[in-house]
Amino acid sequence: MANSLRGEVIKLYKNLLYLGREYPKGADYFRSRLKAAFLKNKDETDSEKIKHLIARGEFVVKELEALYFLRKYRAMKQRYYSDDKP
């Protein structure tokens, strides 16, 4: 069963690696933390535990996407609206 989850884990890692390119502290910082997190759990064989870790990773993906959308929203708002309204 754990072997069938391997594809999901690789997909999650690639997705997080892609999202980490725009991380505020830098891509290298994010990449090192991501690699450490995945290596910490590399020997996990229990399929339920692996599913739980994948769910946690997908939560992190959603949080990163929200962070990036918020940053984009703030930039657009700053570009088109001035703070000093009469």
- For the chain, the domains span 3-81
pLDDT one digit per residue (tens) for the chain, 86 residues = 457 888 999 999 999 999 998 888 888 999 999 999 999 998 888 889 999 999 999 999 999 999 888 888 778 888 888 765 54
- In the chain, which residue ranges form alpha helices assigned H by DSSP? 6-19, 27-40, 47-80
**Token pair belonging to 40:** 């910490």
Which of 25, 55, 21, 53 minimizes the C-alpha distance to 40? 53
Give residue 2's pLDDT. Answer: 59
Phi, then psi, of 43 in degrees rounded to 5: -95, 5
For position 38, what pLDDT does the model report?
93
